């Protein structure tokens, strides 16, 4: 990762990919650094196998010290999970990196290949027995029976893990269908929760409150809209009736309008006042 710019290469820069269902290959060919074009073109490649193995192939790497003023320069691999939080107006997505593998940049040169062999982590196990059998070998795997997942709490399904309360209820020593009592053998205790988990819980509480307010606000809006619609329709009906009576004075509506026109009431008021 560096400050590469694919628009600089004078039509010689290409980003090519190939997929045959077992291998996905992406090649960055003759791509230049935005702020160091004089260094020359870089060509490198990544291969993802369906076995989980990953290959970095560095085909053409100029001998230059890459500047980090405008962009970070990293060589390595990392996984990440994304959490999503809703507010009244926005959806906030947060990407958190973990399990970083940083390579020595000084060893990267033309013709070098780096191979990452897949390691079995917690979420590769699909049943409780195999999940707990591998606990402690490298990761603190726990089994959450509610969502049928094995995890150490830090993978791409972290948000689902937290929402299902797996950080409190996941079995760490014995599978749920075992005869042994496992209620006290949790992977995490409430006092040892990471601060990020506690933040997410508070966030979800505020989300529930905002959703309740939003529902009430929507109900009020519907009621007000209905009342305004009825009022507008009533006024429109009165206006149409008045126009019809005005243009057709011999109709029942026209006769009623003549009898109840304002001038009639004014004359009656004057007569009654004079008699007093």
The pLDDT tens digits for 70-80 are 888 889 988 88
Quick one: pLDDT at residue 199?
A: 31
Whether 274 maps to a domain, the answer reads: no
Whether 273 maps to a domain, the answer reads: no
DSSP state of 40: -
CA distance 199 to 18: 42
**46: pLDDT strictly greater than 90:** yes
With cut-offs at 50, 70 and 90, classify the pLDDT of residue 137.
confident
Residues β-bridged to residue 112: 58
Whether 57 maps to a domain, the answer reads: yes
Asked if 185 contacts 172 with a C-beta cutoff of 8 angstroms, the reply is: yes
Domain that residue 254 falls in: 209-268
Task: Looking at the structure, tell me whether residues 26 and 100 fall in a common domain.
Answer: yes
Whether 131 maps to a domain, the answer reads: yes
Task: Looking at the structure, tell me whether residues 248 and 159 fall in a common domain.
Answer: no
Quick one: pLDDT at residue 223?
A: 76
Name which of 51, 70, 98, 79 is nearest 196 in CA terms.
98
Whether 137 maps to a domain, the answer reads: yes
Whether 132 maps to a domain, the answer reads: yes
With cut-offs at 50, 70 and 90, classify the pLDDT of residue 219.
low
Domain count for the chain, please give it: 3
Give the residue, 153 or 268, on which the prediction is more confident.
153
Name which of 196, 141, 205, 200 is nearest 173 in CA terms.
141
CA distance 267 to 196: 82
Give the residue, 252 or 18, on which the prediction is more confident.
18
Name which of 57, 7, 50, 53 is nearest 27 in CA terms.
57
CA distance 50 to 57: 18
**197: pLDDT strictly greater than 90:** no
Domain limit, last residue, from 94, 118, 142: 118
Average pLDDT over residues 176-202: 39
Mean per-residue pLDDT over the chain, rounded: 78
With cut-offs at 50, 70 and 90, classify the pLDDT of residue 200.
very low
CA distance 84 to 126: 25
Average pLDDT over residues 22-44: 93
Task: Looking at the structure, tell me whether residues 49 and 106 fall in a common domain.
Answer: yes
Burial bucket for residue 263 (CB in 10 Å: 0-12, 13-18, 19+): exposed
Biggest CA pair distance of the chain: 118
Name which of 186, 153, 156 is nearest 168 in CA terms.
186
Query: Which range (62-66, 139-143, 237-241) has the least confidence?
Result: 237-241
pTM to 2 decimal places: 0.54
Task: Looking at the structure, tell me whether residues 114 and 2 fall in a common domain.
Answer: yes
């Amino acid at each position: 990762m560096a400050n590469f710019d694919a628009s600089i290469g004078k039509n010689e820069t290409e980003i090519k990919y190939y997929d045959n269902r077992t291998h996905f290959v992406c090649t960055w060919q003759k791509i230049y650094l935005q702020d160091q074009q004089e260094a020359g073109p870089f060509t490198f490649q990544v291969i993802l196998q369906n076995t989980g193995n990953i290959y970095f192939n560095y085909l053409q790497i100029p001998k230059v010290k890459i500047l980090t003023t405008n962009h970070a320069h990293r060589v390595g691999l990392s996984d990440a999970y994304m959490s999503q939080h809703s507010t009244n107006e926005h959806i906030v997505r947060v990407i958190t990196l973990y399990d970083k593998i940083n390579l020595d940049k000084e060893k990267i040169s033309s013709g070098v290949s780096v191979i990452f062999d897949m390691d079995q982590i917690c979420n590769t196990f699909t049943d409780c027995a195999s999940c707990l059998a591998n606990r402690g070998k490298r990761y603190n795997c726990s089994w959450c029976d509610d969502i049928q997942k094995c995890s150490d709490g830090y993978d791409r399904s972290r948000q689902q893990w937290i929402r299902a309360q797996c950080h409190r209820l996941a079995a760490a020593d014995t599978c749920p269908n075992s005869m042994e009592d496992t209620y006290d053998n949790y992977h995490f205790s409430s006092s040892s929760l990471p601060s990020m988990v506690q933040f997410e819980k508070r966030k979800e509480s505020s989300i529930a409150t905002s959703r309740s307010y939003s529902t009430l606000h929507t109900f009020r809006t519907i009621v007000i809209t209905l009342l305004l619609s009825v009022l507008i329709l009533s006024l429109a009906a009165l206006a149409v009736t008045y126009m019809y009576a005005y243009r057709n004075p011999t109709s029942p509506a026209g006769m009623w309008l003549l009898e109840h026109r304002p001038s009639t009431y004014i004359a009656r008021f004057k007569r009654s006042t004079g008699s007093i």
